[in-house]
Amino acid sequence: MLEETNRLTQLVDSLLAMSRAEAGRISLQIASVPLLHFCSEVAGLLEVMAEEKEQTLTVEGDSTVFVNGDRTILRQAIVKLIDNAVKFSPRGGKIRIRVSVSGPNALLEVHDDGPGI
């Protein structure tokens, strides 16, 4: 029940953020975010769900990668990516979150054993 409550809370938060963005009333709090550490924090929130499906959830990569963004919106995006990976990967699957750099761009990759999009 707790997981479903968290999932519904995230959905409501996402809908509110989209509504505010469409109305032009969203105020972003832009900050420099250490991406690998941030992904580890977010993955920790979803680790219980992965454990229930006997999935392995790992976060790896370059700890020197920083991105400029709103922490709340970044968290929502990363939660959704990891949540989808857990939801659609089979029992016992592997989910890997990787942070790296490609030229001037930060890369965040989520690899899983699901069917893909």
Say what the pLDDT of residue 60 is.
98
Say what the pLDDT of residue 22 is.
66
Say what the pLDDT of residue 9 is.
77
Alpha helices in 23-101 (DSSP H): 35-52, 71-88
What gap in Å lies between CA 55 and CA 94, rounded to an integer?
6
Say what the pLDDT of residue 21 is.
66
Phi, then psi, of 106 in degrees rounded to 5: -85, 140
Which domains, ranges and CATH numbers included, belong to the chain? Answer: 30-111 (3.30.565.10)
Counting Cα atoms < 13 Å in the Cβ hemisphere of 98 gives: 10
| Per-residue pLDDT tens digits of the chain, which is 117 residues long | 667 777 677 777 777 766 766 666 667 788 999 999 999 999 998 898 899 999 999 999 999 999 998 888 899 889 989 999 999 999 999 999 999 999 999 999 999 998 876
What gap in Å lies between CA 83 and CA 100, rounded to an integer?
21
Contact 67, 78 (CB under 8 A): no
